[in-house]
């Protein structure tokens, strides 16, 4: 029975791995094709089923009418996503700590209502916020700018940081704060010197969510920008035309997912909640 269970388990994992990896292998093989190889049918093995070409990759960095500008959208996306994630994580962590340690009540509004208010901002359809954001940025002359997008993305990412960190701080014993204050720390000092260093796992998880949602956002990047500030998702979609260069589109897509994949591999060890081990030693 045990051997059969292991065989079935690893077989399911193998099938799921193939299901996840196949789109990336498809995109990788397509990025080395030319127009003839793309239109002649499904082929996967270079040098065996088709003659590989690096046109899809070289066009991303070539200049002139035949080139595709990838560097500027990539840097714009990196700047907007990093700035918005850092601000959202900082503000969200402070808000989450207050909600997890102190009780607030204004009329019938309590901590749970405040937390739900933050979460509800992610439930709301993005189209509802499109016109208000557009008018707000137009009023402050921040349309089609990195600064304007950072403001919008902070509003979108802050609920994620508050939601994740509130749940994480609630799992950290309040005795840590009390012991720190007995030793002479102020409540703020206890947060920065004791609680925050033991919250690495939560910060990494919240930061990952912020980076993923910010990096992959297309809707607001498309609505709130025109020509001066173009983000990576919009640049990828702009390749679609009457004649779509699938080879360049595949290479572009692979480059766009690479940063998140590398970050996930690096921070994977922080994803468990074992960071409190030894906190009371």
> What is the rounded CA–CA span in Å between residue 59 and residue 236?
13
Q: Are residues 112 and 251 in the same domain?
A: yes
Q: Are residues 228 and 161 in the same domain?
A: yes
Burial class (CB in 10 A: 0-12, 13-18, 19+), 212: middle
Question: What is the model's pLDDT at position 281?
Answer: 39
Assigned domain for 184 exists: yes
Q: Which long-range contacts (CB under 8 A, 24 or more apart) does 256-261 make?
A: 256/74, 256/215, 256/232, 257/24, 259/78, 259/215, 260/211, 260/212, 260/215
Q: What is the pTM of this model?
A: 0.84
> What is the rounded CA–CA span in Å between residue 224 and residue 144?
6
pLDDT, one tens digit per residue, over 232-255 is 999 888 887 767 788 888 898 899
Assigned domain for 61 exists: no
Assigned domain for 141 exists: yes
To the nearest 10 degrees (0 to 180), the angle between helices 246-267 and 71-101 is 30
Assigned domain for 221 exists: yes
What would the mean pLDDT of 91-95 be, rounded to a whole number?
94
Q: Are residues 75 and 48 in the same domain?
A: no
**Lowest mean per-residue pLDDT among 76-90, 157-171, 177-191, 213-227:** 177-191
The CATH number that applies at residue 209 is: 1.10.3720.10
pLDDT, one tens digit per residue, over 161-175 is 998 898 888 888 888
Assigned domain for 62 exists: no
Q: Are residues 93 and 220 in the same domain?
A: yes
For the record, the structure tokens of 228 come out as 């001066």
Range of the domain at 44: 2-53
Q: For the chain, what is the domain count?
A: 2
Q: Are residues 35 and 158 in the same domain?
A: no
Assigned domain for 60 exists: no
Q: Is the model's pLDDT at 276 over the cut of 60?
A: no
Q: Are residues 158 and 44 in the same domain?
A: no
Measured at the alpha carbon of residue 261, what is the angle toward residues 48 and 213, in degrees to the nearest 5?
A: 125
């Amino acid at each position: 029975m045990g051997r059969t269970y292991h065989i079935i388990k690893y077989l399911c994992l193998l099938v799921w791995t193939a299901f996840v990896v196949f789109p990336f292998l498809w995109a990788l093989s397509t990025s080395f094709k030319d127009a003839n190889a793309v239109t002649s049918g499904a082929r996967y093995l270079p040098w065996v089923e088709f003659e590989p070409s690096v046109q899809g990759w070289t066009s991303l960095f070539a200049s002139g009418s035949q080139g595709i500008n990838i560097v500027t959208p990539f840097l714009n996306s990196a700047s907007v996503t990093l700035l918005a994630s850092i601000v959202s994580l900082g503000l969200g962590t402070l808000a989450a700590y207050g909600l997890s340690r102190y009780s607030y009540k204004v009329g019938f509004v309590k901590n749970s209502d405040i937390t739900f208010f933050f979460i509800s901002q992610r439930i709301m359809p993005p189209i509802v916020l499109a016109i208000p954001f557009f008018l707000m940025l137009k009023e402050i002359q921040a349309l089609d700018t990195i600064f304007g997008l950072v403001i919008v993305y902070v509003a979108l990412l802050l609920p994620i940081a508050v939601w994740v960190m509130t749940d994480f701080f609630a799992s950290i014993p309040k005795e840590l704060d009390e012991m720190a204050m007995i030793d002479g720390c102020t409540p703020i000092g206890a947060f920065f010197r004791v609680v925050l260093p033991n919250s690495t796992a939560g910060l990494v998880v919240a930061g990952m969510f912020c980076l993923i949602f910010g990096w992959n956002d297309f809707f607001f990047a498309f609505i709130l920008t025109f020509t001066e500030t173009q983000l990576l998702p919009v640049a990828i979609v702009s390749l679609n035309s009457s004649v779509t260069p699938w080879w360049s589109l595949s290479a572009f897509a692979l480059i766009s997912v690479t940063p998140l994949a590398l970050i996930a591999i690096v921070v994977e060890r922080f994803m468990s909640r074992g960071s409190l081990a030894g906190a009371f030693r």
